[in-house]
Amino acid sequence: MALALRHWTWRWGMLCAVCLATPALAAPDHASGDGSEADSERLQPGLYPAEPVLASGDELSEPYDPFFDIDWSTALRGTYTKATAGERFDVRLVPTISFDHQGSRSAINITTSAEIVRPQEEHIDVTDLRLDLSGGYELDRDTSLSAGANFSLTQDIAGTPGVGSDIAVAPETRTGGFDLGVTRRFGKFNVGLTGAAQRTVYGETLRNDGSTEDNSDSDVWSLDTGLRVGFQVTPIFEVFGQAGLGRDVFDQPSSALLIKTDATDGTIEGGVTGRWGETLEASLSTGLNLRRFDEASLGEFTTQLYDVSITYRPDPTWRIAAGFSTIVAPPEPDSSGTTRIEYAADLDLGYTVNRWLELRALAGISSTRFDGSDETERAYGWGVGADYAVNAHTAVTADYGYDRTDSSVDGVEDAHRVTMGVTVSR
C-alpha cells in the first residue's frame, strides 16, 4: 500500500511540473521580435517603430561609390548690345560640366566649359572654350602637394570696347600650361614652393579693309617659380614674404622693333593676411618687380606692386568682395611697347533675398600703360543682375552691364548690354 502511494505521488508530481512548464515554453519569443503575436516585443510602446529595419538606409545604397561627383549646367542667353560701333544681338549657349573627387587625403577637380555664340544672321563662333584640372594630396599633417593644368581658347567679339575699331574679326587666343606646388609647415612657419609653365599662341587678325595681320611674333612661353614663407603671429594674423623669378621667351622677333623682347622678371613682396572665422578675410601686400630684357638696348625697369583682397560675409545672405592688383605681362597683339603694366580694382556684391531670388552687382576700373611706348588705356564698367529659381534645376537670369574704354589709339568706346536667359542644372 505504501509503495503504491509513493508511485502515484511521483506520477502526479511529474504531471504538475509539465503543466506548469508548458505555458512558459509556449509563450512568444520577445527577444526574437518576430511580430507573430499581439504581445510581441516589437509591438510594445517605445520599441516600435523607433528602430525600423531600414532606419539607416544602408540596405538601399549603391553597390559602389562613384570616384567622381558629376555636376553640369547649360545656359541659353540672348544679349542685346548697343555700342559705339553699332547695335547687335547675339544668342549664347554656355554648357559647363565638372567632375569632383574628395578623398581622405586627395582632392581632384576637372571643369570644362564653352561659350557658343551665334550673331544675328552670321555664322556660329566658339568664343570661349576652357578645361581646368586641379588636384592636391596630403602627404602628412604638415606637407601637402598641389598640381594643376589648364587649356583655353578665347576670342573677343569685334565692336566691343577694348577691341580696335578697325578690326572685323579679333584673333583667337590659345593658352595652355601646368603648375606644381609643395607646402610644408614648421610649427608657426609655413613654406611654399611653386613652379609653372604657360604657352600662349595668337591667331590672325582680320581688318575691316579685308587685310589680315599675322600675330605670331606675340607667341610666347612663360616660365615662373616662386617661394613663399609665412609666420602665424596670432590665430588670426599671418605675416609673409614671397619672391619669384619668371622668364618670357618669344618665338620670333617683334615685327615693330625687329628684335626679340625676351625678358626675365624678379619680384619680391611682403604682406599680412587675416581671417576672422567665416565673416571676414583680408590680405594686403606690396613689393617690387624688376624686368630686365636680354637685348641690352631695351634695358630694364622697375614697377611697384600692390595686391589687396577683402571678402566680407556679415550674415548668410550677404557677400562682399573687393580687390586691387598689379599685372606685369607681355603686350597682346595690336598693342605697342615691350611690356603691359596694369593696375585694376574690382568690387563684387551678392545678396540672397530668399530661397528663390538672388541679386548681384559688380564694378571695375583699370589703368594701363606700356613700357617703351606712349600708349595708354583707361577702362571702367559696372553691372547688375538677378537669378530667379523656378525650381531646383531651372533658373531665369537677367543682367545689365556698361563698359567704357578710353585708349590713346582708338579713343573713347562704350557699350550697353542687356542679357536674359535660362539655366538648367543637375
| Mean pLDDT computed over 86-107 | 92
Quick one: pLDDT at residue 168?
83
Distance, C-alpha 208 to centroid of its chain:
37
Region at 33 (left for phi over 0; alpha for psi -120 to 50; beta for the rest): left
Residue 125 pLDDT exceeds 80: yes
| Mean pLDDT computed over 210-229 | 93
pLDDT tens-digit profile of 136-187? Answer: 999 999 999 999 999 999 998 877 777 877 788 889 999 999 999 999 999 9
Quick one: pLDDT at residue 107?
94
Q: How does residue 66 score in pLDDT terms, banded at 50, 70 and 90?
A: confident
**DSSP secondary-structure letter at 9?**
H
| Mean pLDDT computed over 185-191 | 94
For residues 46 and 44, what is the distance between their CA atoms, to the nearest angstrom? 6
| Mean pLDDT computed over 340-353 | 96
Q: Looking at per-residue confidence, does 192 or 208 come out higher?
A: 192
| Mean pLDDT computed over 218-228 | 96
Share of the chain above pLDDT 70, in %: 84
For residues 291 and 73, what is the distance between their CA atoms, to the nearest angstrom? 43
Q: Spell out the domains of the chain, with CATH numbers in brackets.
A: 2-43 (no CATH), 75-425 (2.40.160)
Other residues' Cβ atoms within 10 Å of the Cβ of residue 413: 21
What mean pLDDT is reported for the chain?
85
Q: How does residue 55 score in pLDDT terms, banded at 50, 70 and 90?
A: very low
- pTM over 0.95? The answer is no
For residues 189 and 239, what is the distance between their CA atoms, to the nearest angstrom? 10
Contact 338, 372 (CB under 8 A): yes
Residue 332 pLDDT exceeds 80: yes
Quick one: pLDDT at residue 22?
39
| Mean pLDDT computed over 75-90 | 90
Residue 7 pLDDT exceeds 50: no
Look at residues 195, 199, 117, 130 and name the one whose alpha carbon lies nearest to residue 156.
117
Residue 411 pLDDT exceeds 70: yes
For residues 395 and 392, what is the distance between their CA atoms, to the nearest angstrom? 8
For residues 152 and 247, what is the distance between their CA atoms, to the nearest angstrom? 21
Would you state the cell numbers that stand for residue 13, as one nine-digit string? 508530481
